[in-house]
Structure 1
Amino acid sequence: MDPTYRLYGSPGWGSTIVEATLTLMGEPYARVDLKEGVFAHEDERLTRVNPLAQVPALVLPSGELLTESAAILLWLTEQHAEAGLAPLPGDPARAQFLRWMAYIPGQIYPMYWVRDIPSRLAEGEAAEQVILARTAERIADCWRMMDQQVSPGRYILGDRLSVLDLYVTVVSRWTPRRRRFYAVAPKMAEVVRRVDAEPRLAGLWAERFPFDDGWEG
């Protein structure tokens, strides 16, 4: 039995959230990055383990496969509860934690499946441009609605960092980018800036999702 997690992903993609989680937990993992210049469904190493051709895909030390970002994060926080990266059952913050952990992959994440290859749902460049514009607006609206309903402390659920903060921090860097996120989600803006500056994640961000010039959009 291989005692190390094996994570399929790519720099800056959803797998970065899982990498940040494993880093904070101090858990070793091996990376299998997608081939450069090809779509996920064209990388046979990924499709062999996940026919949906989506990342992240995490092979557990037992050899079992776990997919879906929220499921991976919830499973990791239960298996490594000592890391304190999630309110556990019985914690008053648990209900809102589960709510928002389901909200991001339910309402926001699917927009990127459309945006990555808009021809999946549209025919012709003009139609594709409409989809790109409308999905960007939908993402911004979802962040706005979430921001209106949370009452952050240092972090979204209070004063304790959780995988929810990591989830929002990474996904908010995608389209329509951080400047738009700051404008529509001002309460969460300070949270993601704090996670950006988390010393324990400095090396990971530099390697896997660097703050290059113009990164905020």
Structure 2
Amino acid sequence: MTWTLYGDWNSGATIVEILLNEAAAPFAFRQISIARDQQLDAAFGAINPMRRLPALVVPGGMLVTESLACVLVLAEHVPDARLLPPPATPGRATVLRWMAFLAGELYGAVGRFDYPERYTTDPGGTTAVRDSAVAETRRLWSLLDGNLGPGPYVLGERFSALDAQILVMSRWTNGPAEWVDEHCPRIAEVVRTTAARPSAAAIWTRNYEPVRPARADEAASVAALVEAAYAPWVPVVGQRPGPMDDDYAGRIARGEVFVVAEASDVLAGLVVIEEKAGALWLDNVATAPAYAGKGLGRRLIRFAEAEARHRGYGAIRLYTHQRMERNVALYRALGYAETGRSVEAGFPRVFMEKRLAG
């Protein structure tokens, strides 16, 4: 009996994903890309008329929308997982109170931050809408933080669905997470403790673990990750892709390699960026097989784009093998335009560029 979860990485669906893992419930994930506004498409509108994530299909076919409803329905269907405290107990009342608070209050602030143009008729008023949303978000997190008792979870030693909700929603950009962690110590404790649970650890790594410069002692691990990530491409392109034979000790020494690592320091993904010919190049993105197709690669690409802006570049460039058609399609979907094709160093390459907003 399989559940189906419609969502995107680091969205409200992530709360449900953690809880499905917690319940050991088999599920299929159907990605609806927020970056490409797929939640606004008619196809998804037929599933959820509000065009919001998540949407959850219960085994048997019943569709549930709204994140709070998804969590409550899941908890009812898998009572042995104890995602909620028993009915008619103080713990149950506490969890339901604050879950409704976050869903009812914080989601509204998130919407105003993400889509400020929907909340003003003044074309120049979007900045004020966003600033107001950030202030309201901080007020809400501070209010919740001040009402929590001893940890490490909201209910002390007992994990509940509310902890997963806090973990995910406190990471969203309208916080931002750094502010929440600094000013809301109990929220930060809930986040740290929940992130370490087996049901959430991999999700935390791919969505929220900081991207950091690779260390000199990680050169062999970087090379091994690239080898594993690119090995499936060898029969497709008929040769070893260039990144498989790169000098990563040298790259790391020049500050060109950035990684995401699990708590154990095992590498989950990496991105290599290089300044050359007056531009910033996205030279290589690789994820460990366990993280392939789960959003980490896209997050690393966004990191590279943000780094390009930070360094004052108005665009970012890349090249990939002409036979890596899936990668070419992905980059196009992410806003990269093809600028040319040629053979370099024995590799037939596609050159692409993305103009970056300020």
Q: Which amino acid aligns with 2:4?
A: R
So what's the TM-score if we normalise by structure 1? 0.90
Question: Which of 32, 35, 46 in structure 2 is aligned with 1:48?
Answer: 46
Q: Distance in 1 between matches of 2:132 and 2:145?
A: 20
Higher-Rg structure is 2
Structure 2: gaps of 5 or more residues = 213-298, 300-358
Question: Which of 10, 13, 16 in structure 2 is aligned with 1:15?
Answer: 13
Q: Which amino acid aligns with 2:20?
A: L
The superposition leaves residues 24-50 of structure 1 with CA deviations (integer Å, 9 ceiling, x where unpaired) of: 110011111114642244333321211
Residue 23 of structure 1 deviates from its aligned partner by 0.6
> Retained in 2: the 8 A contact 1:47–1:53?
yes
State which drifts further: 111-120 or 28-37.
28-37
Structure 2 partner of 1:109: 107
Q: Secondary structure at the match of 2:124?
A: helix
Structure 2 partner of 1:162: 160
Q: Distance in 1 between matches of 2:59 and 2:66?
A: 17
Question: Which of 140, 143, 146 in structure 2 is aligned with 1:142?
Answer: 140
Q: Distance in 2 between matches of 1:8 and 1:164?
A: 20
Structure 1: gaps of 5 or more residues = none
Residue 17 of structure 1 deviates from its aligned partner by 0.4
Q: Distance in 2 between matches of 1:67 and 1:111?
A: 19
> Retained in 2: the 8 A contact 1:21–1:163?
yes
- RMSD across aligned positions (CA): 1.9
> Retained in 2: the 8 A contact 1:172–1:181?
yes
Q: How does 1:21-170 map to 2 (within 5 A)?
A: 21-35=19-33, 37-170=35-168
| Structure 1 residues 36 and 141: CA distance shift in structure 2, 3 A | closer
Q: Tell whether 2:177 aligns with 1:178.
A: yes
Residue 134 of structure 1 deviates from its aligned partner by 0.7
Q: Distance in 2 between matches of 1:40 and 1:178?
A: 26
Structure 1 partner of 2:187: 188
| Structure 1 residues 205 and 44: CA distance shift in structure 2, 3 A | farther
Q: Distance in 1 between matches of 2:198 and 2:58?
A: 27
Residue 197 of structure 1 deviates from its aligned partner by 2.1
Identity among equivalent pairs (%): 33
| Structure 1 residues 36 and 184: CA distance shift in structure 2, 3 A | closer
Q: Which amino acid aligns with 1:19?
A: E
Q: Which amino acid aligns with 2:147?
A: Q
Structure 2 partner of 1:4: 2
Structure 1 partner of 2:203: 204
Residue 21 of structure 1 deviates from its aligned partner by 0.4
Q: Secondary structure at the match of 1:20?
A: helix
Q: Distance in 2 between matches of 1:137 and 1:150?
A: 21
State which drifts further: 38-47 or 191-200.
38-47
Q: Secondary structure at the match of 1:123?
A: coil
Residue 184 of structure 1 deviates from its aligned partner by 3.0
Identify the structure with the greater helix proportion: 1
> Retained in 1: the 8 A contact 2:32–2:39?
no
Residue 124 of structure 1 deviates from its aligned partner by 4.5
Identify the structure with the greater strand proportion: 2
Q: Which amino acid aligns with 2:192?
A: R
Q: Which amino acid aligns with 1:198?
A: R
